[in-house]
């Protein structure tokens, strides 16, 4: 097992402490100069051991403290070295700062107990003020380094917790930003699809009819419809570009389409779907105060308009000849939008390819407003799109 490389600061502490200890020994400055239980040179052994332990003060603080305790106790049976005692206080401090949390919590209380026990025992033995001095020295060697280490560790842990909170806050902010960008891109995709798909589908169907039917009159009618949808599609694109440019600036906001324009929407669909044998009818069953979109929250009004627009586009692209019925109802704070169109496996006349993005967009619009959406066959020959949108301003803004 390879021991971790000691920190360069620990190497400096060990080297300087050992140098000071050797200098004190050379000058004959000892803590217990009159104590001659062992030869004088033996004081160098605990000093050297403690200096080596300084190299482990970060990587193995618990082991360094245990062995250092034995070394400082051994030093008391020699002439004694101030360097050994000072290095032991540093090992006590390092054990609290760099040791595990359990050791950091226990050492201040343990050293306080040791200080009290030494003071009481000395008083009982000597019954002199010298006993109090021994208690003070013990607290300086054990208790104060442990308390200082606990304060430093607490400050370090607090700073680390603040750093982690700052990183988490930054991470959450970045996640929110990405989610906002994703949501905005999805909104732009829905708007672009709903605005352009209707016109491009009509252009594709009538251009196919003009190419497949060799009739000047049919070609002229198809070209007229193509031109109308091209102009309207270009206007819609310009409106979207204006909306994007003014969304983050100080310019005047571009008006969003609402159910007030649903009559014009059906009229245009009638022209686009005439070649496919489609007839479009509106049943507006809303109360007079709520008719033509009045009183609806702006997000609901826009979503309802887009649902009708996309449903009419799908009918032009896929529906069999027949009547397409659009129903609008407002009751109990809920706006109901329902579009019924002819449904059949075989359809005469040209078709436009579909990608399925329209149904996905409608479902997303309704889900964002907390409503309900369903689309699918309604019997053997009808297709139904139905959406229920909360029309209460408080519910929409929640």
| One pLDDT digit (tens) per residue for the chain, 398 residues | 566 788 899 999 999 999 999 999 999 888 887 777 888 899 999 999 999 999 999 999 999 999 999 999 999 889 989 999 999 999 999 999 998 888 888 999 999 998 898 888 888 888 777 778 888 888 888 999 999 999 999 999 899 999 888 888 888 888 888 887 777 777 777 766 666 666 666 776 667 766 666 677 767 777 777 777 777 777 777 776 666 665 554 444 455 778 888 888 888 888 877 777 888 999 988 886 444 445 788 888 888 988 998 888 888 877 788 889 999 999 888 999 999 998 766 555 555 555 556 788 888 888 888 899 999 888 788 889 999 999 876 555 55
Please report which residue ranges of the chain form alpha helices under DSSP H.
8-27, 44-53, 61-75, 82-98, 101-126, 129-138, 144-212, 216-247, 262-273, 298-318, 357-368, 393-396
List residues bridging with 278 in a β-sheet. Answer: 322
CA 11 to chain centre: 43
Residue intervals in the chain for CATH 3.30.565.10: 256-398
Half-sphere exposure of 3 (CA within 13 A, CB side): 11
Q: CA-to-CA distance for 103 and 58, rounded, in angstroms?
A: 14
Could you say which of 3.40.50.11890, 3.30.565.10, 3.40.50.970, 3.40.50.300 is the CATH number of the domain covering 256-398? 3.30.565.10
Mapped onto helix, strand or coil, the DSSP state of residue 273 is helix
Would you say 83 and 18 are in contact if contact means Cβ atoms under 8 Å apart?
yes
Would you say 115 and 142 are in contact if contact means Cβ atoms under 8 Å apart?
yes
The tokens of 48 are what? 């050297």
Other Cβ atoms closer than 10 A to 193: 19
pTM score of the predicted model? 0.51
Q: CA-to-CA distance for 104 and 210, rounded, in angstroms?
A: 87
Q: CA-to-CA distance for 232 and 203, rounded, in angstroms?
A: 11
For residues 296-314, one letter each, b for 16 or more C-beta atoms within 10 angstroms of the residue's C-beta and e for the rest, the string is bbebbbbbbbbbbbbbbbb
Would you say 11 and 52 are in contact if contact means Cβ atoms under 8 Å apart?
no
Would you say 301 and 345 are in contact if contact means Cβ atoms under 8 Å apart?
no
């Amino acid at each position: 097992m390879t021991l971790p490389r000691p920190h360069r600061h620990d190497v400096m502490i060990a080297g300087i402490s050992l140098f000071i200890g050797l200098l004190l020994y050379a000058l004959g400055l000892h803590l217990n100069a009159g104590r001659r239980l062992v030869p004088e040179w033996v004081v160098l052994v605990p000093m050297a051991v403690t200096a080596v332990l300084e190299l482990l003060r970060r990587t193995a603080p618990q082991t360094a403290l245990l062995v250092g305790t034995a070394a400082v106790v051994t030093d008391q049976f020699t002439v004694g070295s101030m360097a050994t005692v000072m290095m032991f206080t540093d090992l006590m401090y390092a054990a609290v700062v760099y040791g595990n949390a359990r050791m950091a919590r226990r050492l201040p209380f343990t050293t306080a107990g040791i200080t009290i026990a030494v003071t009481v025992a000395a008083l009982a033995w000597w019954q002199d003020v010298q006993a109090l001095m021994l208690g003070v020295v013990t607290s300086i060697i054990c208790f104060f380094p442990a308390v200082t280490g606990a304060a430093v560790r607490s400050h370090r842990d607090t700073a680390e917790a603040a750093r982690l909170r700052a990183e988490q806050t930054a991470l959450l902010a970045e996640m929110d930003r990405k989610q906002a960008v994703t949501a905005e891109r999805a909104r732009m995709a829905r708007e672009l699809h709903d605005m352009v798909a209707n016109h491009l589908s009509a252009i594709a169907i009538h251009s196919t009819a003009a190419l497949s039917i060799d009739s000047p009159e049919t070609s002229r009618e198809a070209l007229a419809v193509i031109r109308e949808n091209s102009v309207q599609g270009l206007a819609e694109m310009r409106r979207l570009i204006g909306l994007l440019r003014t969304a983050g600036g100080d310019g005047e906001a571009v008006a969003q389409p609402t159910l007030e324009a649903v009559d014009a929407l059906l009229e245009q669909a009638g022209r686009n779907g005439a070649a496919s044998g489609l007839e479009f009818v509106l049943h507006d069953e809303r109360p007079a105060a709520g008719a033509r979109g009045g009183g609806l929250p702006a997000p609901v009004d826009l979503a309802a308009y887009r649902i009708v627009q996309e449903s009419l586009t799908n009918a032009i692209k896929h529906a069999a000849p027949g009547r397409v019925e659009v129903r609008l109802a407002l009751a109990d704070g809920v706006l109901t939008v329902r579009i019924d169109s002819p449904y059949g496996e075989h359809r005469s006349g040209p078709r436009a390819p579909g990608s399925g993005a329209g149904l996905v967009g409608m479902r997303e619009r309704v889900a964002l407003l907390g409503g309900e959406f369903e689309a699918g066959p309604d019997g053997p020959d009808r297709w139904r799109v139905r959406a229920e949108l909360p029309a209460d301003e408080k519910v929409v803004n929640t």
